[in-house]
Amino acid sequence: MDEILDALETAAVAAENLVDYCHGPVSLRSALLALQTHLDRVSVVQAKLLAAAEASKAHEGTGARNSARWLAGKSNSSLGSARKKAELGEALAKSKTLDDAVSNGEVSPDSAAALHDAVTNPPEGATEDDIDSLIDCVKGADPFQSKQAADRWKEILSNETEEQAHERRYQQRSFRMSAPSDGMVMLNIALPVLEARQITASCSHIASRQGTDDGRTTEQRLADGLIEMASAYAKGQISGGRENPNLLITIPATSLTGDSDEPGYTSWGDRIPAFVARRLAEIANLQRVVMAGSHVLDLGRSVRCATEHQYEALVARDGGCREPGCTLPPAWCQIDHLHDWILGGLTDLDNLVMWCTFHHHEKHRPGVIVLGDANDLRLQMPDGTIKHCPPKVPQNSSSSAPTQGDLFGQSPPGRPTQAAA
């Protein structure tokens, strides 16, 4: 035991020397990546030790509620970080397939921790093969994508109806306040996604930016909006509620009529069950968008305010950034003229697409050539390769055996489709 601990100390000293020996971008990148790999391995070992300590109740007699709290207290470290390590250890102990995937470098420790709930508390009737299928699907995915895939996986395999799942989530809503610290209080609010988006949209609308000199961060603006809402209520000034702000939800017409149960999607990419969308439609302003595949045929009425209605049509058609593998939703995207407006490009739907900020910049790099229009968009990259950028049409599956396509669409994370020219 002492020899192993001495070896750990030697490794830590060697790592400290990297700071003095790394000079230049290449060596710095190599050192950072190598060190991250070793930290991941050590993190997994710590997680397994925490799981073993919890299983043997090593914390008993220390006054701590569990081993994670004991570790955080003794090391003066974050309780959240210790809990995350404990969850990783529990998930690895529960699934050898996950343990092997992490050991082989196919799933990062952080992504594995994101699968904790799915692996340790799977839906009733889920088999080990189902869990192995989920793990295979998230190989190469980041923690956020892995958590989304795990949530979708549980949803597909669950015996709950959409109504039952919605009610369960609604009953978990909460509003908590921390003890004051330096005159500040932290609010911890847990809400179903739709209600959370409604609050965010309202706060953002109330505290809209006041000209170019408004230096507030987004977080500060939302906080100001919440304060303004509370102040208005206290003064008896709350009124309206129909005109603005708007929460845009795209859903097939057959779902609104009850002929299907395909879900709707907010402009942030949140999945909204069909029955919830039908309930909201009773008080909503409806905008018809007629589609033929990915082609927008009709916006339903004469478009006077082109920007607003075209944006709604782009949300329905593109579903987010058109870059293959990019998961940013429409609300985070910019609208781009494929053929520049200043050079005669038209402000027509066939010439408009959505990009996130980064991929919008990439599209305008020197040497990138646009091929086709928005309905069959291909980019010729500076090295001559052709990249196909299809719309992100939301996928809906009722299959009892989820696949990569069910959880991620047709291109899993980190594996964009790209063909040689």
C-alpha span between 235 and 237 (Å, rounded): 5
Cα dihedral sign, 168-173-179-182: positive
Q: 29 φ, ψ to 5°?
A: -65, -45
Task: Provide the residue-wise pLDDT of the chain in tens; the chain has 421 residues.
Answer: 778 887 878 888 888 888 887 888 888 888 888 888 888 888 999 999 999 999 899 988 888 889 999 998 888 888 888 888 999 999 999 999 999 999 999 999 999 999 999 999 998 888 999 999 999 999 988 998 899 889 888 888 887 777 788 888 888 899 998 888 888 889 999 998 888 888 888 888 888 776 677 888 889 989 998 988 888 878 777 654 444 566 778 888 888 788 888 888 887 777 888 888 877 775 566 666 666 565 655 554 433 334 677 888 888 888 889 999 887 788 778 888 888 766 777 778 888 898 888 888 888 888 889 999 998 999 999 899 999 999 876 544 444 455 655 666 544 454 333 333 2
What secondary structure, in 3-state letters, does 357-413 show? HHHHHHHCCCCCEEECCHHHCEEECCCCCEEECCCCCCCCCCCCCCCHHHHHCCCCC
Query: What b/e string do you get for 214-237 counting C-beta neighbours within 10 Å, with b at 16 or more?
Result: eeeeeeebbeebbeebeeeeeeee
Structure tokens at 181: 């610290």
Using CA atoms, how far residue 158 sits from 126, 149, 155, in Å, is 8, 14, 5
Structure tokens at 249: 């939800």
Cβ atoms of 191 and 173 within 8 Å: the answer is yes
Q: Which residue has the tokens 């309930």?
A: 279
C-alpha span between 154 and 116 (Å, rounded): 12
C-alpha span between 63 and 58 (Å, rounded): 11
DSSP at 181: B
Amino acid identity, position 238:
I
Q: Which residue has the tokens 């009850």?
A: 258
